[in-house]
Amino acid sequence: MSEIKTHYRNCNICEAMCGLEIKYQDKNIISIKGDKDDPFSKGYNCPKATALQDFYEDKDRLKTPIRRTKTGWEDISWEEAYTEIAEKFKTIQAKHGKNSLALYLGNPNAHNLGNTLFLKPFMKSLGTINRFSSASADQMPHHVASNFMFGAGMLIPVPDIDRTDFMLIIGGNPVVSNGSMMTAPNVIGRLKAIQKRSGKVVVVDPRRTHTAKVADQHLFIRPEKDALLLLALINRVFAKNAVKLRHLEEIIDDIEVFKTISEAYSADAVAEFVGISAQDIYTLADEFMSANSAVCYSRMGASTQTFGGLCQWLTNVLNIITGNFDRAGGAMFPQPAFDLLRNYKKGFKSSFGQYHSRVRKLPFFNGEFPVAALAEEIQTAGEGQIKSLITVAGNPVLSSPSGHKLAEAFQELDYMVCVDIYLNETTKYANIILPATTGVENAHYDIFFNSFSVRNTVKYSAPLFEREEYQRNDYEILKELTIRMSDEEVPAHVKSLTPEIILDVELKKGPYGEQGFSLQKLIDNPHGIDIGPLMPCAAERIKTSDGKINLLPQLYVDDLVRLNAVMSQPARNKNYPFDLIGRRLVKSHNTWTQNSARLVKGKNPCTLEIHPDDAQQLGVSNGQLVNVSSISGEVLINAVITDDVQRGVVTMPQGWGHNQKGTNMSIAATQPGVSINDLTDVNRVDLLTGNAAFNGTPVAIKVAT
């Protein structure tokens, strides 16, 4: 046995980028703990970090390519796999056109250095516009708002949580999720620090979440009414003549038009629909306006809903007009060391609406179509129909709206390939699965999450264990497929690129390059380097052609008509009288971490939360099996009666449903749960952005017989 060694790296499961200290001996992990010397996370980690060991050791994890045959899966060599894939895709494209091949990218791509860098040339080599990703089941409304207001979809304002005096959280549960579009390890500590410095935290959510319990105030809201609430807050700012633009005065027009727009949405006018009293709305607005600094942060609950676009626009507007934008304690732009916007000129043309999806005419943006359109694009015959598909690190059968129907669509494809680590609910439909390495076997640097971080920091993690000779990293797979799918010969220097080579160049050319930032500097500082708090930088970072913030993009103003209709609709759907919303669990990440025994042990967490009054009315007792149905499907699930949810609202976790035949996640199968996306409806989208509208799915509930 050799000596016990220590390795430092960032956890790459969620967005928080926690620094870890891993003790190991030979190729065995001995312990995983938070790294106290990481300047950003300072020793914090959540229970999922230790599961990195389980993913590494997982006997069910695929390590070499497999091919589906009539009698089952067979092992094949990498060469055989690549040759067949290129041949099949090219033949199908030659017959049905380039766009007959589709691509779906899942969430772990954003947490993987190699994928972030090698997907771009890969996508180009496929030559198809039919690209989809989990972003349109998640944060697309944030990007669309940034695109239209600040000129670049990746320019995301993040809450300066460490300096704010008042934090309004709408539709986010960062104490459990550890933050999203807000990289902030130890959110709970950072929220408590706001309270310690006599600040205030307010949560607006249809559920009394863990975050709501930590907050100073929780306001229950009716699902999908956040845009009305935000307009009422904005209305109050104008009514009180409290608009403050501070240093942004010269780069903001249209303020008076906004005043006129918001007039129709006083707290008194919207309270009934929002479910929060007019008085509470006034108080919230007044406290927000009078705080030394304040920030409104709205996330999944205000994004994956039918008005996700409006919510993210209005969140920005509220921060801007109260003088809380690009200023300490407000919403600020990070300045990452690896700057995705480095080569973007002011006024560059975005791809929003460059195309519309063939069947439902949903908008193309950021190089992709909304995932809600994927099934119909496969199943609707005609010019441009999707005939083959490659997924990379995604499980849309469990993660996308009406996922069970997407599974039916996959069976109609001529050919399907998955780059994944498991034989799961999606990959079981593939003809070939190409397994990548994962977690501790990969080098890591968070390109995306440094772009959404509450502090500017940098850290590079070398692989803890080099991959075995028979394995391949994601980026190696993507590179090889790029070479084989490209119409033109890929130049030798491109063939020899590694993530490290690109990272080094970007660090040197980036904003801190002159301060000596390079890959070597990061290697020399294995705990990471703190650059400092976010700095005002809007004037330099904004990419609109005139350098101004656009407060009033026309498509948002037009979308208010759709919102207004809500105020004349009946509150409840007659056949499906409950509003279903999702919830995240501390010990799971989306659909894929459930094959870790330590994360899924214990009581079945996949339950339906229902309010005591509703349960009583339906004759449902605690723990009882109930049937939940929607226009899209039905599931059987045990009820948990709790007044943590609002009357008329029910919640169930997202990411479950490992109860299918033909998969091989043996530990997940012991705690399968059911999939919320057998209930969500592919036809419920935010029409402005095309984002999936999971929240507020109308469902009916009855005792299972």
Contacting positions for Mo ion (CB under 5 A): 138
Nearer to ligand MGD, 156 or 507 (CB): 156
Chosen residue from 19, 34, 65, 106 binding ligand MGD by CB under 6 A:
106
Between 46 and 284, CB nearer to ligand SF4: 46
Residues 567-576 as b/e (b if ≥16 CB within 10 A, e otherwise) read eeeeeebeeb
Whole-number minimum distance, CB 15 to Mo ion, in Å? 8
Could you say which of 99, 125, 128, 134 contacts ligand MGD (CB under 6 A)? Answer: 134
**Which residue in 49, 126, 285, 390 binds ligand SF4 (CB under 6 A)?**
49
d(CA 497, CA 534): 32
Report whether 490 contacts 33 (CB < 8 A).
no
How far does Cα 213 stand from its chain's mean position? Answer: 24
φ and ψ at residue 53, rounded to 5 degrees: -65, -40
Taking the complex as a whole, how short is the minimal distance between the CB of residue 208 and ligand SF4, in angstroms?
22
Q: Which residues on neighbouring strands pair with residue 170, listed in sequence order?
A: 204, 298
Q: Which residue has the tokens 């020793």?
A: 43
Q: How would you classify the pairing of strands 331-332 and 415-420?
A: unpaired
Q: Name the minimum Å distance from CB 187 to ligand SF4.
A: 9
Contact pattern for ligand SF4 over residues 94 through 133, marking x by CB under 6 A:
----------------------------------------
538 binds ligand SF4 (CB under 6 A): no
Cross-strand bridge partners of residue 627: 636, 702
CB neighbours (10 Å) of residue 629? 16
Site for ligand MGD contains 19 (CB under 6 A): no
Residue of 106, 153, 157, 185 interacting with ligand SF4 (CB under 6 A) = 185
| Residue 701, SS3 per DSSP | strand
Smaller CB separation from Mo ion, 335 or 591: 591
**Which listed option, ligand SF4, Mo ion, ligand MGD, none, makes contact with residue 691 (CB within 5 to 8 Å by class)?**
none
Given a contact cutoff of 8 angstroms between Cβ atoms, the answer to whether 205 and 212 are in contact is yes
For helices 308-321 and 554-566, angle between their N-to-C axes, nearest 10 degrees: 110
Span of 41-49, 363-371, 461-469, 579-587 interacting with ligand SF4 by CB under 6 A: 41-49
Pairing, β 166-170 against β 295-298: parallel
For position 178 contacting ligand SF4 by CB under 6 A, the verdict is yes
The CB-of-15 to ligand MGD minimum distance in angstroms stands at 6
102 forms part of the interface with ligand MGD (CB under 6 A): no
- Please give the Cα distance from 599 to 595 (Å, whole number): 8
Stretch that binds ligand MGD, among 19-27, 219-227, 257-265, 488-496 (CB under 6 A): 219-227
Q: How many residues bind ligand MGD (CB under 6 A)?
A: 64
Measured CA to CA, the distance from residue 274 to residue 567 in angstroms comes to 10
| Cβ-proximal residues to 448 (8 Å cutoff; 6+ apart), any chain | 110, 111, 116, 340
SS (H, E, C) 479-491: HHHHHHHCCCCCC
Q: How far is the CB of 503 from ligand SF4 (least distance, A)?
A: 20
Indicate whether 10 belongs to the interface with ligand MGD (CB under 6 A).
no
The nearer residue to ligand SF4, 48 or 521, going by C-beta atoms, is: 48
Tokens describing residue 327 = 């200023």
Binding status of residue 11 toward ligand SF4 by CB under 6 A: yes
Binding of ligand MGD by 159 (CB under 6 A): no
34 or 179: CB nearest Mo ion = 179
| Maximum alpha-carbon separation in the chain | 74
Any residues with CB less than 8 A from the CB of 489 and at least 6 apart, and which? none
Nearest residue by C-beta to Mo ion? 138
Q: Are strands 166-170 and 200-204 parallel, antiparallel or unpaired?
A: parallel
By the 8 A CB rule, do 100 and 413 touch?
Answer: no
Cβ partners under 8 Å of residue 204, min gap 6: 168, 169, 170, 171, 218, 219, 221, 226, 229, 276
Tell me if 177 contacts ligand MGD by CB under 6 A: yes
Q: Which stretch binds ligand MGD (CB under 6 A): 293-301, 318-326, 336-344, 501-509?
A: 293-301
Which span (9-17, 327-335, 453-461, 688-696) binds ligand SF4, by CB under 6 A? 9-17
Choosing from 157, 301, 336, 370, the residue that interacts with ligand MGD (CB under 6 A) is: 301
Identify the CA nearest to 297 among candidates 267, 270, 324, 269. Answer: 324
Sign of CA dihedral 142, 143, 149, 155: positive
Which one, of 664, 637, 608, lies nearest residue 58 by Cα? 664
Token reading at 208: 């009394």
**Residue 424 binding result from Mo ion, ligand MGD, ligand SF4, none, given CB thresholds of 5 to 8 Å by partner type:** ligand MGD
Work out which of 174, 199, 330, 657 binds ligand MGD, going by CB under 6 A: 174
Please name the residue that has the structure tokens 């790296």.
Answer: 9
Q: Which of 22, 40, 45, 108 binds ligand SF4 (CB under 6 A)?
A: 45
Minimal distance, residue 297 CB to ligand MGD, in Å: 9
438 binds ligand SF4 (CB under 6 A): no
Is 593 one of the binding residues for ligand SF4 (CB under 6 A)?
Answer: no
C-alpha 406/C-alpha 412 separation (Å) is: 10
329 binds, among Mo ion, ligand SF4, ligand MGD, none (CB under 5 to 8 A by kind): none
Would you give the binding string for ligand MGD spanning residues 387-416, x where CB under 6 A is met?
A: -----xxxxx--x-----------------
* CA 210 and chain centroid, separation: 20
Question: Judged by CB, which is closer to ligand MGD: 357, or 437?
Answer: 437
Ramachandran assignment for 358, one of left (phi > 0), alpha (psi -120 to 50 degrees), beta (any other): alpha
The smaller minimum CB distance to ligand MGD, of residues 339 and 474, is found at 474
Q: Is the distance from CB of 637 to CB of 628 less than 8 angstroms?
A: yes
Between 112 and 357, whose beta carbon lies closer to ligand MGD?
A: 112
Q: Give the span between the Cα atoms of 358 and 226, in whole angstroms.
A: 31
- By beta-carbon proximity to ligand SF4, the closer residue of 459 and 543 is 459
Q: By CB under 6 A, which span of 236-244, 294-302, 381-389, 461-469 interacts with ligand MGD? A: 294-302
The binder of ligand MGD chosen from 38, 224, 376, 609 (CB under 6 A): 224
Determine the Cα–Cα distance for residues 315 and 331; give it in Å rounded to an integer: 10
Q: Which amino acid is at 465?
A: F
Point out which residues bind ligand MGD (CB under 6 A): 14, 106-108, 112, 134, 137-138, 170-174, 176-178, 180, 204-207, 209, 221, 223-224, 226, 299-302, 305, 392-396, 399, 419-422, 424, 436, 438, 474, 581-586, 588-592, 654-655, 676-677, 680, 694-696
Point out which residues bind ligand SF4 (CB under 6 A): 11, 13-14, 16-18, 45-46, 48-49, 178, 185
